[in-house]
């Protein structure tokens, strides 16, 4: 059964690659892992195929996505996060709702979990930043802060080979095909089942495990901000998971309690404001085409109500 599934995925990938080649845009986000954090291809302007349209992307020499005005007189917002913060559709970027006149400098890539992006933060020059945003995608980051997560196990390319695969997309496609047929594929073979499986994994994770992971993350946040002091304005932005609808009422309430606990410990350790991003409406129509990210135009950002014990 698994072999048949792999063959089916390979056929779909082959057909999709041919369509993408005809469009002139890339099939996938070009990103690689440098041992500390994943990042996009550096200093390029390109497009990603997105349904009948495309996502236009510009990066700087450090592999950061740049969104908005490049005016030297304008403010800059530095944001750190994974693919949800990166922007996985062709809508106007959702973080511009927080800083409409600012240039967004996105230290973001798929599989860029909190510990990875804090590595990036600690070596960043923050002089130009007037606001720093740290994203926490409950869909995935809730598992990336648990023991056992290794970013390299989920990222197809390393930084050294990223340029080669960017210049020759066919090689990227063939490498992706090869990993589909490997014993430990880095391309998901069960994307449709990802939502229920991730919801079940959350259900199986105990409250103690979640709170212990949150406490450890808050300590690393505190250490990182002490090592690299940034602007006074700091925001911790929590995204509702795309699989939340798979939970019953009891587990939904438990998820909300964890989000508030995480917000409290981060606020207490860093002084960051804590916001929450959730889709409106709460339905599948708010999902991007891959079914694993919220459309940016659907996201409403509000302050997360916290009741923190000292």
Model pTM above 0.75: yes
| Chain centroid offset of residue 271 CA | 23
Complete DSSP assignment for 143-181: HHTSTT--GGGG-S-BHHHHHHHHH-HHHHHHHHHHHHT
User: 129-137 and 53-58 as β-strands: parallel, antiparallel, unpaired?
Assistant: unpaired
Residue-wise pLDDT tens for the chain (310 aa)? 555 545 444 444 444 444 444 458 998 899 999 999 999 999 999 999 999 999 999 999 999 999 987 765 679 999 999 999 999 999 999 999 999 989 999 999 999 999 999 999 999 999 999 999 999 999 999 999 999 999 999 998 999 999 998 988 776 556 555 555 555 555 543 444 588 999 999 999 999 999 999 999 999 999 999 999 999 999 999 999 999 999 999 999 999 999 999 999 999 999 999 999 999 999 989 999 999 999 999 999 999 999 888 6
Q: Which stretch of DSSP H or E encloses residue 9?
A: helix 2-23
Q: Where are the domains of the chain?
A: 2-303
Closest CA to 296 of 129, 166, 104: 104
């Amino acid at each position: 059964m698994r072999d048949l599934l792999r063959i089916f995925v390979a056929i779909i990938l082959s057909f999709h690659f041919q369509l993408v080649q005809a469009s002139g845009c890339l099939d996938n986000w070009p990103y690689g892992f440098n041992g500390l954090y994943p990042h996009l291809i550096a200093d390029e302007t390109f497009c990603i195929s997105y349904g009948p349209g495309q996502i236009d992307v510009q990066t700087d020499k450090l592999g950061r996505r740049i969104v908005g005005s490049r005016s030297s007189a304008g403010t800059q917002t530095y944001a750190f996060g994974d693919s949800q913060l990166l922007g996985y559709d062709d809508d106007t970027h959702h973080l511009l709702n927080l800083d409409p006149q600012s240039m967004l400098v996105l230290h973001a890539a798929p599989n860029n979990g909190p510990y990875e992006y804090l590595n990036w933060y600690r070596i960043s020059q923050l002089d130009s930043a007037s606001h720093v945003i740290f994203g926490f995608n409950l869909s995935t980051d809730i598992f990336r802060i648990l023991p056992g997560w290794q970013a390299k196990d989920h990222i197809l390319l390393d930084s050294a080979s990223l340029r080669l695969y960017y210049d020759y997309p066919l090689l990227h496609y063939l490498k992706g095909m090869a990993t589909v047929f490997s014993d430990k594929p880095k391309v998901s073979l069960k994307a449709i089942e990802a939502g229920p499986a991730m919801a079940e994994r959350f259900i199986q994770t105990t409250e103690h495990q979640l709170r212990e992971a949150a406490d450890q993350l808050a300590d690393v946040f505190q250490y990182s901000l002490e090592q690299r002091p940034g602007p006074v304005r700091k925001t911790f932005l929590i995204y509702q998971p795309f699989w939340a609808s798979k939970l019953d009422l009891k587990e939904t309430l438990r998820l909300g309690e964890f989000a508030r606990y995480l917000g409290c410990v981060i606020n207490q350790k860093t002084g960051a404001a804590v916001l929450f991003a959730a889709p409106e409406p709460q339905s599948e129509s708010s999902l991007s085409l891959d079914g694993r990210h919220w459309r940016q135009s659907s996201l409403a950002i509000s302050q997360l109500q916290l009741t923190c014990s000292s």
